[in-house]
């Protein structure tokens, strides 16, 4: 997959599956983004937590985010959170 396709998939997946106020994975990502702590290691740890809690949606989103460059992750999530 190319980067544009992955960014589009992430955007569509967020729109389709995540209520920003109710999903633990998305809340953790949003909080880390606002605190300036969002990086690949944070996303990896969040995905591991999703495996432990059997959160399939978080695993899918986290896996997609890990395929993007950090700058792309930040810009995409900032766009979705505004």
Q: What element of type H or E holds 21?
A: none
Q: Is 74 exposed, middle or buried (0-12, 13-18, 19+ CB in 10 A)?
A: middle
Per-residue pLDDT of the chain (82 residues; tens, 9 = 90+): 688 898 888 888 888 876 655 678 888 888 998 899 999 999 999 999 999 999 888 899 999 999 999 899 999 888 877 5
Spans of all domains in the chain:
3-81
């Amino acid at each position: 997959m190319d980067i544009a396709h992955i960014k589009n998939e992430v955007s569509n997946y967020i729109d389709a599956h995540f209520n920003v106020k109710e999903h633990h994975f998305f809340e953790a990502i949003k909080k880390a983004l606002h605190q300036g702590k969002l990086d690949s290691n944070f996303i990896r740890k969040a995905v591991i937590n999703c495996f432990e809690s059997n959160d399939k949606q978080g695993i899918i989103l986290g896996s997609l985010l890990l395929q993007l460059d950090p700058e792309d992750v930040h810009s995409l999530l900032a766009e979705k959170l505004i």
